[in-house]
A and B are shown apart, each in its own frame.
Chain A
């Protein structure tokens, strides 16, 4: 993040978020049309909130550096996202995800977030362990009428601008992989605490050293990720943003998953 940018990028957002004033929730489309009239008009609260949500998700995605991410920062960002989720739930600003194109676009974001925030260790260890984990899976299954893998392979076609590696999409059951991942990490943490070298040896057999794959994915991802969301609001928001409100729920269902990923990693 460019610290040297100082305070100049988000004057509008700052105004909005000063006292946390809750504005009446308007339909997203009307807000856009309203602000279409004047380039200098302050973006709607919903757009502001969405921008904050996007910014937070990007921050979580960028948590994989060479050094372990700062857990406190990650937890605070995740809590912020959760807060936005709760408010959006109360406002009713998000709709149930259906299988339209916007739904699939939101899936893209959901899954790509998954890819980025998760170490690539487990993506080759398929189907080793059974139990699905995380509310991510429960929410996902409850919202989706159809099969997960089916939806994902459809989404991969939409995903082309994002340059994700194809082997990522070959996962049969991402839930199981995550279950394996979490179990491995729990074992790792317990091992570190108990300092018993024997289990460490066992763990090495499950750890996948395809870190370089993650680098490639990240590189591809970064070229497409919008930085400085606050900046984009000062120029006028493009019509594609109207779909962003309906993306909320997928983002927010994704939240628990993200939280787990980021704190595990």
Chain B
């Protein structure tokens, strides 16, 4: 699989506030939103393809930047509330404006993004600068006309959904009904109506009566893309629960429980930790779910609860290093995963700025690197390989040379085309599959 870099955006000097914490395409792929640790959201827009400059087709440029969340202080617990944007989800576009939800650990906000590219000129009562005219100078009347102006993008907060969560919000998901959305924290999932901010409906609560008995938390959740009554949530024990909101008001009892029995030969003290699901995504078809745990990505068929239908090893060479990764906390890294538009290829990130793609049909996989060296504009990405000892080819990287501070946790795939967005710490890389783009 070849890749061609379209643009690389370095959003800062890497002091920490610029670390990208989420990436999300909108439903058409025209817009790409990123959230960072400093609470900012940056939206990129794809330039329309121009026949005059075929090489500039489809570049993403900055469209708008705004501060979504600010740091807060919880006086009750004497703790800071981070402004880091955990998730962004776009609402389906219903008029000329775009809307998205962004959330930090505690508060979800609905933002409306509008464009202004015309302004009225020729007022009778005020002049060009807006000052009131001296009426004695007005000798005739004119009709103001709309004249084009430089594009101005305005972002306004339309709703603030606060005080819904005691624990840290890890996911939000907009329902296919376009009226409701859910937000999940470590122990609870709430259902909100997009127009109502002062109350939400609790639909999942796994908080035990006695907190000492807590052994499992919610790690991710998502609504089914087509059935507005179905949603899934994943747990730190590696299980998935599909819930039907029609069954009861409180969906503590799942409709289906997806769990793979543990492999006894691979059992270790770290088995549970590496089985914790860090991300779950429904396929576009709605037939499958994709989960990511520490070492693998798995495809689950909604109709089969006993085990996944496909399992792909992301970086199995780390299996013998789990204790070191536990010591430096890397074992708790939460990687995301993504489907391509046709559900035939899945993608996830890894360490050393590597990311992996798996073709479900051909069963081929590739490791690519998101780095400045390999990402000159229109450079072809070279497949990378990690060697575990034994035969070592040129350009292979040994496991012990991997840089564990360079982790690709957040990736996104364009909804229809082969364009991917990769967040590598504070850099955003956008790659396009050159092969496809040449097919006319």
Q: Which A positions have Cβ atoms within 8 angstroms of B?
A: 1-10, 13-20, 49, 52, 55, 59, 66-68, 70-73, 75-76, 78-80, 82-84, 119, 134-135, 182, 188-189, 192-193, 195, 200, 203-204, 207, 209, 211, 228-230, 256, 259-260, 263-264
Q: Is B96's beta carbon under 8 Å from chain A? A: no
> Which range contains the number of B residues in contact with the other chain?
35 or more
A67→B71 CA distance, assembly (Å): 11
B82 near A67: Cβ-Cβ < 8 Å: yes
Closest approach, in angstroms, between the C-beta of B262 and any C-beta of chain A? 11
Q: Which of B39-75 contact A (CB under 8 A)?
A: 74
B168 near A9: Cβ-Cβ < 8 Å: no
Chain A to chain B: the 4 pairs with minimum beta-carbon distance, closest first = A20-B268, A13-B323, A260-B212, A71-B186
Closest approach, in angstroms, between the C-beta of B94 and any C-beta of chain A? 30
Q: Is B265's beta carbon under 8 Å from chain A? A: yes
Q: Is B399's beta carbon under 8 Å from chain A? A: yes
Q: Which of B381-409 contact A (CB under 8 A)?
A: 399-400, 402-405
Instruction: From B272, B319, B327, give the contact of A228 (CB < 8 A).
Output: B327
Q: In the complex, which of the residues A18, A49, A195, A209 has the most CB atoms of chain B within 10 Å of its own CB atom? A: A18
Closest approach, in angstroms, between the C-beta of A104 and any C-beta of chain B? 26
Q: Is B147's beta carbon under 8 Å from chain A? A: no
Q: Which of B271-288 contact A (CB under 8 A)?
A: 271-273, 276
A10→B329 CA distance, assembly (Å): 13
**Complex contacts, B271 vs chain A, CB 8 Å:** 20
Across the interface, name the chain B residue whose C-beta is closest to A83.
B269
A259 near B332: Cβ-Cβ < 8 Å: no
Q: In the complex, which of the residues A49, A80, A134 has the most CB atoms of chain B within 10 Å of its own CB atom? A: A80
A1 near B327: Cβ-Cβ < 8 Å: yes
Q: Given contacts A19-B266, A79-B215, A83-B272, are A3 and B76 in contact (CB under 8 A)?
A: no
Q: Is B267's beta carbon under 8 Å from chain A? A: yes
Closest approach, in angstroms, between the C-beta of A96 and any C-beta of chain B? 23
Closest approach, in angstroms, between the C-beta of B145 and any C-beta of chain A? 51
Across the interface, name the chain A residue whose C-beta is closest to B322.
A17
A19→B262 CA distance, assembly (Å): 13
**Complex contacts, A83 vs chain B, CB 8 Å:** 269, 272
A7→B271 CA distance, assembly (Å): 19
Can you show 20 pairs from A to B with CB atoms below 8 A apart?
A3-B404, A4-B404, A6-B402, A7-B321, A9-B327, A10-B324, A17-B269, A18-B268, A19-B265, A19-B266, A19-B267, A68-B74, A72-B219, A72-B332, A82-B215, A135-B212, A189-B166, A192-B76, A203-B76, A204-B76
Instruction: From B74, B214, B329, B402, give the contact of A263 (CB < 8 A).
Output: B214
Q: In the complex, which of the residues B77, B219, B265 has the most CB atoms of chain A within 10 Å of its own CB atom? A: B77
**Complex contacts, B399 vs chain A, CB 8 Å:** 7
Q: Which B positions have Cβ atoms within 8 angstroms of A?
A: 74, 76-82, 105, 163, 166-168, 186-187, 211-212, 214-217, 219, 236, 265-273, 276, 319-330, 332, 399-400, 402-405
Closest approach, in angstroms, between the C-beta of B325 and any C-beta of chain A? 7
B270 near A260: Cβ-Cβ < 8 Å: no
A14 near B215: Cβ-Cβ < 8 Å: no
**Complex contacts, B216 vs chain A, CB 8 Å:** 75
Known: A7-B400, A72-B332. 10 other contacts (CB 8 A): A1-B327, A3-B328, A9-B327, A17-B270, A20-B266, A68-B79, A68-B80, A256-B212, A259-B214, A264-B211
Instruction: From A3, A70, A75, give the contact of B214 (CB < 8 A).
Output: A75
**Complex contacts, A82 vs chain B, CB 8 Å:** 215
Closest approach, in angstroms, between the C-beta of A239 and any C-beta of chain B? 24
A211→B402 CA distance, assembly (Å): 40
A163→B330 CA distance, assembly (Å): 31
Closest approach, in angstroms, between the C-beta of B147 and any C-beta of chain A? 49
A193→B201 CA distance, assembly (Å): 11
Q: Given contacts A70-B332, A200-B76, A260-B212, are A230 and B323 in contact (CB under 8 A)?
A: yes
**Complex contacts, A264 vs chain B, CB 8 Å:** 211
**Complex contacts, B403 vs chain A, CB 8 Å:** 6
A18 near B319: Cβ-Cβ < 8 Å: yes
Q: Given contacts A6-B404, A80-B269, are A14 and B211 in contact (CB under 8 A)?
A: no
Across the interface, name the chain A residue whose C-beta is closest to B273.
A76
B78 near A209: Cβ-Cβ < 8 Å: yes
B323 near A80: Cβ-Cβ < 8 Å: no
B323 near A52: Cβ-Cβ < 8 Å: yes
Across the interface, name the chain A residue whose C-beta is closest to B78.
A211
B323 near A195: Cβ-Cβ < 8 Å: no
B324 near A230: Cβ-Cβ < 8 Å: yes
Across the interface, name the chain B residue whose C-beta is closest to A185.
B211
A9→B403 CA distance, assembly (Å): 15
B80 near A79: Cβ-Cβ < 8 Å: no
B400 near A8: Cβ-Cβ < 8 Å: yes
B163 near A192: Cβ-Cβ < 8 Å: yes
A75→B217 CA distance, assembly (Å): 8
**Complex contacts, B402 vs chain A, CB 8 Å:** 6-7
Q: Given contacts A66-B79, A200-B76, A263-B214, are A55 and B269 in contact (CB under 8 A)?
A: no
Closest approach, in angstroms, between the C-beta of A121 and any C-beta of chain B? 8
**Complex contacts, A59 vs chain B, CB 8 Å:** 329
Q: In the complex, which of the residues A7, A79, A134, A200 has the most CB atoms of chain B within 10 Å of its own CB atom? A: A7
Q: In the complex, which of the residues B79, B215, B325, B327 has the most CB atoms of chain A within 10 Å of its own CB atom? A: B327
**Complex contacts, A8 vs chain B, CB 8 Å:** 324, 400
Closest approach, in angstroms, between the C-beta of B159 and any C-beta of chain A? 17
**Complex contacts, B163 vs chain A, CB 8 Å:** 192, 195
B77 near A134: Cβ-Cβ < 8 Å: no
